[in-house]
Structure 1
Amino acid sequence: MSSRIPQKPRSRNPVQTRARLLQATIDLVAEKGADALSLKEAARVAKVSRGVAYQHFDDRDHLLREAKAWLSERLSESLHGELDPATMEDRVYGVARQVMNNREASRLLIADAMAGKDLQKDHPLYRLLLDSLERFRTSGNARQDMDLEILSSILVGVVASIIMLSYQDNSDVDKMARRFTAEWTRILRHGIFVEPPA
């Protein structure tokens, strides 16, 4: 008669495994670039077998596509919270801080947008920009004649500038986000041109 206690089978959670693989992909791309990504390496970083990785993703391109979509959803969710504060300065600061704290992820999404690949009208970040601008316009605090589609594209460029700022040596995210906020809100309120002398 054996006194050994039977072991419970390991519980597997496919949702958590998928999330670990997606996070590993984002981490690898941030560290080595998208060209260096492989499903095998993502599995290693996520601490799952390559076979398990292939149960979730067909190939490297599928993994990368899904990681970008997953990431854009996460950024979109976090930005929704940042857009709730009352003042324009709070909103700009919140977005700048989120982008700077997620610069590699943001860089992936911007690179796709600039290549004309992935910033479609149904993309979560594009949708978020349009919805935020529409709310801003209907609040009465913005011009009613804004071209929301053009302004959304301009704001994608603004996000690219935030990413560039975050790469400065010894960049203090909070300080840089505040500097960006001060200048961008000044431009939004007053522009950059002065009236020519009469």
Structure 2
Amino acid sequence: MSGKYHHGDLRSTLVATSLDLIAEQGMHAFSVAEVARRAKVSPGAPYRHFADRDSLLAAVACTVAQQLSASVRQATTAHTEPGEQLAAAAGAYTEYLITRRAGLQVVFAAGLRGPQYAELHEQTRTLMDEFLMLCLAVSSGPSEALELMEQLLTQAHGYAAFQLDGVFAVHGYSVELVVRKSVDAARIVILGHRGEPGERR
């Protein structure tokens, strides 16, 4: 075992390695044994920090939620108009998912909803609140904002999924172009939600 693990770095190394594994092979390939192998530690070493597979996955999901929140905040700082901020946030989600190959499918993974995952639930609330507050700024009420958030996140996730699955490959789309298309599509949805001129049906 590398010396650095004796200084308390193994936990963060396991989380980073898990995220890389999910990015490369998807959620179905995630296992503690494979993470340990990649981290070059014994099969039992991860259990010094995590009780079981789901505990490690919860830590990974927490990291994803934190990173997504930071990406959304950074994207919105370039704009002052609420609709543009929201569209930029949608684009930030698409870009993060393409880059890290992890998003809400990790944050809301089955088995991570128990009270023992309080830190994950807190980070998830922070992430969703980032989007919800932006949606409230262009909506007439909470119900409308929640509906808009669902539409935009589903759409943003879809653009990333099409890129990752190779659907856009036949057109030669770059990541930058897909993100721009996601932002443009979000603008259309927001305009329609507001009922403003220029909306597309």
Q: TM-score, normalised by structure 2?
A: 0.70
Contact 1:83 1:91 in 2 (8 A): yes
Which 5+ residue runs of structure 1 have no aligned equivalent?
A: 1-9, 194-198
Q: Against the structure 1 CA distance between its residues 153 and 13, is the aligned structure 2 distance closer, same or farther, given a 3 Å change threshold? A: farther
Residue 51 of structure 2 corresponds to residue 58 of structure 1: yes
Number of aligned residue pairs? 177
Aligned ranges for residues 1-198 of structure 1 at < 5 Å? 10=3, 12-14=6-8, 16-86=9-79, 88=84, 90-102=88-100, 104-106=101-103, 108-109=105-106, 112=109, 122=121, 124-135=123-134, 137-138=136-137, 142-147=138-143, 148-167=145-164, 168=167, 169=169, 170-189=172-191, 190-193=198-201
Q: Which runs of 5+ in 2 are unaligned?
A: 192-197
TM-score, normalization: structure 1?
A: 0.71
CA RMSD of aligned residues (A): 3.2
Structure with the bigger percentage of helix: 2
The one-letter code of the counterpart of 1:156 is: L
Q: Which has the larger radius of gyration?
A: 1
Determine the C-alpha separation between the residues in 1 that align with 2:200 and 2:162: 20
- Partner Cα distance (1:123, 1:153) in 2: 19
Distance in 2 separating the partners of 1:160 and 1:110: 13
Determine if contact 1:72/1:125 at 8 Å carries over to the other structure.
yes
With a CA cutoff of 8 Å and minimum separation of 6, indicate the structure with the bigger relative contact order.
2
C-alpha contact (below 8 Å) 1:79/1:98 kept by paired residues: no
